Amino acid sequence: MGAMGLLKAMEELFDYIFYRVYKAYQKRDSTPEIYAAGVLSLMQFFFLLCILVFIGLFVEFPIPHKYYALPFIILILGINWFKYERNFNVKELELKWGKEDRSIRKRRGWLLVLCLISLILFPIVIGVLKHNLNLL
């Protein structure tokens, strides 16, 4: 798979995450787009943070202060808002995944939740092991 294929696969994954969160919040709120873009942005940020922490296991470098993360999160949220709010038709995603089999939808939903939890826990566990317990 080339670089373009990888980018297309990532875009498809992001679209799916957006769609699933959108559908979950559609029943609860009148503006599910902001929740979907927020959860997607959070997952993307924590994925990048996991990469940074993983590289930090092998190459020693200072991790930027937490206040540098906020503008980065806002940037990611802005990019997602621009993609999914402006001239974006949820009907396209509905056509693509609206008829998804219930068992597949349920399994993928659990995988998304597990992925989100893992993305949040990985940097925390590595930080505790490295800085608090001096095991890494």
Task: List the chain domain ranges.
Answer: 15-132
**Separation of alpha carbons 25 and 43, rounded Å:** 17
pLDDT at 86: 81
- Range 34-40 average pLDDT: 92
Q: Retrieve residue 133's tokens.
A: 């317990």
pLDDT at 89: 83
How sure is the predictor about 27, in pLDDT bands with cuts at 50, 70 and 90?
confident
The residue with tokens 């995450």 is 17
Residue 131 has pLDDT above 80, yes or no: yes
C-alpha closest to that of 20 among 103, 82, 113, 88: 113
pLDDT at 80: 92
Other CB atoms within a 10 A radius of the CB of residue 80 amount to 21
Residue range 45-100, pLDDT digits in tens: 999 999 999 999 999 888 778 888 889 889 998 999 889 888 778 899 999 999 99
How would you class 124 by CB atoms within 10 Å of its CB: exposed for 0-12, middle for 13-18, buried for 19 or more?
exposed
**Separation of alpha carbons 47 and 30, rounded Å:** 28
Question: What is the SS3 assignment for 123?
Answer: helix
DSSP 87: T
